[in-house]
Structure 1
Amino acid sequence: MRLASKLLREVRVLSLDFFCLLNFIKKDDFVYLDPPYIPYSKTSNFTSYNKYGFDFSMHERLLRFCDKIDKKGAKFLLSNSNTTSSLELYKNYNIIFVDSKRLINANPIGRGNIREILVKNF
């Protein structure tokens, strides 16, 4: 516990528009991004985590944010869905495919294994 406490002393947890974080990011920082995923289908499009939603234009904005993180010399890791749109959007970065489980779904048939992506600039 003491080690965890020591390591977390320099960690900042913030809740604000992600572009505002650019003021805090510096060279050699590590940024993890877990946005609402690009929907796999028209029926799996829940993106209403706030009153503004998170549509594809926000994902394009997030890509520009990643570009700025990269230009600052910081590292980022972003998780998202394995869709054609995601792969095209982040094609200039390293993409890793990971298998995951979906345990939450109103329809039990929609639960189970799914492939997602991790996007990174390192």
Structure 2
Amino acid sequence: MQKIKRNRAFLKWAGGKYSLLDKIIPSLPKAELLIEPFFGAGSVSLNAEFNQYQLNDINTDLVSLYNIVQQQPIAFTEALAPMFVASTNLSEFYYQKRAEFNNTTDPFRRAVLFVYLNRHGYNGLCRYNSKGGFNVPFGRYVKPKLPSQEILQFAKRFKNASFTNLNYKESMLQAPEETVIYCDPPYIPISKTASFTQYAANGFTIEDQRELGDLASKLVKEKKLTIVISNHDTALTREFYKDAKIKSFSAKRFISQNASTRKPVKELLAIFDSNN
């Protein structure tokens, strides 16, 4: 198997795909354009070789951050550096900056604070309360890393990419012919305590999961496309992706907070191909 060059995302991200690149990348056929309707931290596009990228996410803060990094990478890393010293890695400082983030409307400052909170907050979570306030607690890391090189690499790779803040359906419906779409939606929970659907202020429901599978089936019948979807391997996902080719595997991701009960989980890739 061809060795995959691995570029790391500059954000920590719950459910990130860095550890699964050897499963995902070979499942993406060659094409001019890759569309990601659920871009997240971007590990897949950072490592997949396409000439064009349309990168979408429903999280407004995330898309604003990426547009700023794309346009002003050096100024952004210089502004971020003072946030990664010993005096900023304290809970009191963290909660002050979290409050500032939730009150500021300045896009550049908000982007700097977003990265600070992401690298210092608990477990790489991106979570908002019902009023849209970021509410991830302090992470208590020994020495959070300033991801300056990763930010510059991100800006270089996606210099000409398009970042959009749309509903995933809008992003997919705009896809031209001969396109690959990779979808990494919030996963269907496999236990009552494993739901990460409050990624943005609005959740991603079971009905949304069903509609994603239906839309993928519809689009590959209407256009010459390939759509690849990641999710947990469950009876529901197999039902929702019944028109797709399924690749199942064990993932090194753990869902339990109790270390004594952590187990690897089964995931799948659903490949919808108009040539099938």
| TM-score (ref. length: structure 2) | 0.39
Residue 202 of structure 2: aligned partner: 52
Residue 18 of structure 2: aligned partner: none
Residue 177 of structure 2: aligned partner: 27
Q: Which amino acid is the alignment partner of residue 78 of structure 1?
A: I
- Are the aligned partners of 1:25 and 1:69 in contact in 2 as well (CA < 8 Å)? no
**CA 1:47–1:109: 2 relative to 1, 3 Å:** farther
Residue 84 of structure 1: aligned partner: 235
Q: Which amino acid is the alignment partner of residue 185 of structure 2?
A: P
Bigger shift: 104-113 or 37-46?
Answer: 104-113
In structure 1, which of residues 77, 100, 106 is the aligned counterpart of residue 257 of structure 2? 106
Q: Which amino acid is the alignment partner of residue 11 of structure 1?
A: Y
Q: Which amino acid is the alignment partner of residue 39 of structure 1?
A: P
In structure 2, which of residues 193, 211, 215 is the aligned counterpart of residue 65 of structure 1? 215
Distance between the aligned counterparts of 1:23 and 1:77, measured in 2? 15
- Are the aligned partners of 2:194 and 2:256 in contact in 1 as well (CA < 8 Å)? no
Q: Which amino acid is the alignment partner of residue 51 of structure 1?
A: A
Structure 1 stretches of 4+ moved >6 Å: none
Residue 268 of structure 2: aligned partner: 117
Distance between the aligned counterparts of 1:9 and 1:82, measured in 2? 31
Q: Deviations over 1:70-95 (max 9, x none)?
A: 12221011010011111111112111
Residue 81 of structure 2: aligned partner: none
Looking at CA atoms only, which structure, 1 or 2, has the larger radius of gyration?
2
Distance between the aligned counterparts of 2:56 and 2:208, measured in 1? 19
- Are the aligned partners of 2:217 and 2:272 in contact in 1 as well (CA < 8 Å)? no
Q: Which has the higher contact order (CA 8 A, sep 6+)?
A: 1
In structure 2, which of residues 187, 210, 214 is the aligned counterpart of residue 37 of structure 1? 187
**Unaligned segments of structure 2, at least 5 residues:** 1-45, 58-165
- Are the aligned partners of 1:30 and 1:74 in contact in 2 as well (CA < 8 Å)? yes
Q: Which amino acid is the alignment partner of residue 250 of structure 2?
A: D
Write 1 or 2 for the structure with the bigger share of helix: 2
Q: Deviations over 1:87-107 (max 9, x none)?
A: 111112111101211146422
Bigger shift: 108-117 or 86-95?
Answer: 108-117
Distance between the aligned counterparts of 2:199 and 2:259, measured in 1? 23
Write 1 or 2 for the structure with the bigger share of strand: 1
1:76 match: secondary structure: strand
1:49 match: secondary structure: coil
| TM-score (ref. length: structure 1) | 0.82
Distance between the aligned counterparts of 1:29 and 1:114, measured in 2? 30
Residue 225 of structure 2: aligned partner: 74
Query: How many residues are treated as equivalent by the alignment?
Result: 117
Deviation for aligned residue 1:23: 4.3
